[in-house]
Structure 1
């Protein structure tokens, strides 16, 4: 079955996606930074699953369950009930937040303790294809590993024990654990790499982060200190990027890692989406990556204007024809002719699809039918 994962945008969330990828072919991973955004993301997936002809697996990891998300779980159950036997979807929710237990009870879904596993709570949705598990005493990365039978197609081909121990210790803040200091070092390395090299949304993103985490965990397994891990982080990152760019037609190892990756990112058909006027839109890129990649895109002639939409609602326009400022003005912004910024009316965006839905009608408003007709002016004439 096709496997899609929605997970948190932190070390534990990426640890869970690393474990999932080691156990099954994961087609797509959606990383969500804010629990308040999980509901809309889940709603989009449910709409897509409603049209899917074959059954799929939706795996949700390390996401606190808030009211809109729980409503989505109920909607998933209702959708599955309407589907034919043999084409039903599977939903696996692996969470470890105490707040999720509170919210579920408040909304009429009573989590029941698992008699065979102390600390584990299950929620019965009346559908054998839905597994909602909440286990406070372990991190989501370890939950993904220990409950892998719910979604896995094979056993991991690598030893994940040091990764599990490090993330478990730091995510649950178990300072007495021998793995805690290594977990802190792993967390530092993660945050330095997760957003500023291969952005979320690019097909290489999860491979890049997971390969780094696995390489770092292997170093920790040999007994390396946090200082040694930090010292070797650059070499690890270079090794991962060398492997990714081995077939790249324009790679230049004399450049910095970010410069090398920018060339590959500029060719992406998924990182940037075209709007009706030819503007290319990206979502949630850090400013340095957007600056480098947008310049390469315009130099290659792929677009004359690009815009990056951040989750908190800020927009950055770049152009090579003087139209960046024109775009920014439509979003209460300003700046230079070829470098300007503005802000979404709603104040935030939760996905690429949401960003396009908010930007497109402002940049390219629909004209009323017949408005281009020479008779349109006469129709509205009051003389």
Structure 2
């Protein structure tokens, strides 16, 4: 049995690759990263998970698959060494020309600038694993390829434009806080788009997808009864926050709160969380620039808290401010620890 750890980019093309591999491989664990240091962090996460996997399955065949991301020669050298130590095989499928020098040196680094990563992955899966013999994914692959390579002459290009906006606009779930749920959401949208492309005549398909997109999003977030999309998202995210509240807890002057990251809709989600978790005194959401929102439910004057830790203010139950010398992170645990230290420093308290 082959176990696959699949790292891909965070755009339509990157998720398109994972949409395909998840149909074939089982077990498979997916990860996503933007360019820069996040790639190395996710590779560290993959190798750590492989080490744990080896404890129970020491002889299992393991593949580290990387798509729609290019690595430097230095990164490839380090990864190849660590993968060999873990007994994992490597395969990288990409189309960015910046990886040309690395592709020349490493046999597992496949580069083709003429195709999108989704198209490369699709062809690779078909060649090596006999994937999709009936071709049910061919149209969605063509649409992703047309927009990613910008083939305006392709009849699938208009549909690809809607797909591109569909994924870039799917921001309801923060991928740093809840990567698995965020990925599942985006892959569900791609799956719905594939089905529409199969059913509607190609010239009408982009309009049909655009018309149906709101309903497709609501369908994913609907857990029980129907409601407005904003309320469905708030309920969904609140449940995720409640589930993960222990690892997301912060303290301020003896009060217990939860720290979100780029969650947004602070009033709606913050108040929903506090009502669902009456043992919490405040809700805090910080964005990638260090601006934060605070909400309470008559248990803490968050205007005073905002003034003390962020030179901010507002109302007793709804305030905000900015963290001084804020350093962003794509690893939530590091972010929470850093902000807890900051709160302790500004309030002159030790975290409870």
TM-score, length-normalised on structure 2? 0.78
Give yes or no for the alignment of 1:3 onto 2:4: yes
Q: Which has the higher helix share?
A: 2
**Corresponding residue of 1:123:** 106
* 1:310–1:351 CA distance, 2 compared to 1 (3 A): farther
Map residues 63-78 of structure 1 onto 2, 5 A cutoff.
63-65=69-71, 67=72, 71-78=74-81
Q: Retained in 2: the 8 A contact 1:15–1:141?
A: yes
Give yes or no for the alignment of 1:91 onto 2:69: no
Question: What is the total number of aligned residue pairs between the two structures?
Answer: 325
Give yes or no for the alignment of 1:214 onto 2:188: no
Shift of 1:187: 1.5
TM-score, length-normalised on structure 1? 0.73
**Corresponding residue of 2:257:** 279
Map residues 34-183 of structure 1 onto 2, 5 A cutoff.
34-50=35-51, 52=53, 53=55, 54=57, 56-65=62-71, 67=72, 71-83=74-86, 88-101=87-100, 105=101, 109=102, 111-112=103-104, 123-124=106-107, 131-148=108-125, 159-183=136-160
User: 2:279 and 2:129 mapped to 1: Cα distance?
Assistant: 40
Q: Retained in 2: the 8 A contact 1:62–1:140?
A: yes
Give yes or no for the alignment of 1:259 onto 2:236: no
* 1:330–1:160 CA distance, 2 compared to 1 (3 A): farther
Comparing 209-218 with 276-285, greater Cα deviation is found at: 276-285
User: 2:74 and 2:122 mapped to 1: Cα distance?
Assistant: 27
User: 2:49 and 2:301 mapped to 1: Cα distance?
Assistant: 36
Q: 1:295 aligns with which of 268, 271, 283?
A: 271
Q: Retained in 2: the 8 A contact 1:9–1:31?
A: yes
- Over aligned residues, Cα RMSD in angstroms? 3.3
Shift of 1:172: 0.6
User: 1:153 and 1:284 mapped to 2: Cα distance?
Assistant: 41
Q: Which runs of 5+ in 2 are unaligned?
A: none
**Corresponding residue of 2:23:** 22
Shift of 1:97: 0.5
Secondary structure at 1:159 match in 2: coil
Larger Rg: 1
Shift of 1:9: 1.6
**Corresponding residue of 1:232:** 212
Shift of 1:325: 4.6
User: 2:337 and 2:192 mapped to 1: Cα distance?
Assistant: 39
Spell out, residue by residue over 1:89-125, the C-alpha distance to the aligned partner (whole angstroms, 9 max, x if none): 2333222111122xxx3xxx4x23xxxxxxxxx723x
Shift of 1:180: 0.6
Secondary structure at 2:284 match in 1: strand
Secondary structure at 1:273 match in 2: coil
Spell out, residue by residue over 1:166-203, the C-alpha distance to the aligned partner (whole angstroms, 9 max, x if none): 110001111111111111122223333x112x442164
Q: Retained in 2: the 8 A contact 1:272–1:282?
A: no
* 1:16–1:309 CA distance, 2 compared to 1 (3 A): farther
Q: Retained in 1: the 8 A contact 2:218–2:232?
A: no
Spell out, residue by residue over 1:106-149, the C-alpha distance to the aligned partner (whole angstroms, 9 max, x if none): xxx4x23xxxxxxxxx723xxxxxx3222211111122222237
